[in-house]
Structure 1
């Protein structure tokens, strides 16, 4: 064969063809800096305080606090403690709020199935009760 002749194309599947659908991709874990930033912003806004006010109280720059709230920076524990204190929180409080938010974000969405509490017309079986589908 000369270099100008074409070769038949060979298809190589990316996954085995078994008839079963490919598994759904795993949900992406939220980044801690995004969660902490959201908590900082939410707490600041709940107190009706400005970025400038909280940044001054924490002794950090206003642009840096803004970047923290938007999840653009990975703050040190000292900076987190200062921002938390400026909001009237301890570092443990900030981390506990962030932990709750992480759990909420990482929780899988409930699966809707017939015959469960998701469908009140068909209540879930009581413990020990067996139901057969026809």
Structure 2
């Protein structure tokens, strides 16, 4: 003989429904919550830099192999950088930029401009600062 309980005895009854509070006379029911869309995701810096590199290379009608050889970077690695899959070092970015006839500052400035375009806003100014007429990349020692 078996000690097992018949299947119908193991059924779990459904959970009772929650009691709803009836609104008092003259009181309006609370409004249903409105779903809020999450804010758009900020683009990653590596995606922006990769887009700039790829756009510049294609504008010059150069192949990935040509630019990689000139920059002395492996072609698969440069491809990964262009697609935003790898976070390249400043040395690699400088070499890729130079192979395209750009300086590192030019590359980073274009990536910054792309960030401003994509997000549709400018970086806030620090306390007591004003925006200069030159809006490029500035480096200080």
What aligned pairs does 1:1-134 form with structure 2 within 5 A after superposition?
A: 4-10=12-18, 18-19=31-32, 21-107=34-120
Q: Which has the larger radius of gyration?
A: 2
The CA distance in 2 between the partners of 1:100 and 1:29, in whole Å, is: 14
Total equivalences in the alignment: 102
- Provide the alpha-carbon RMSD of the alignment: 2.3
5+ long unaligned stretches in structure 2? 1-9, 19-29, 122-141
5+ long unaligned stretches in structure 1? 11-16, 109-134
Using the TM superposition, give the Cα deviation of residue 52 of structure 1 relative to its aligned residue in structure 2, in angstroms. 0.8
TM value normalised by structure 2 = 0.65
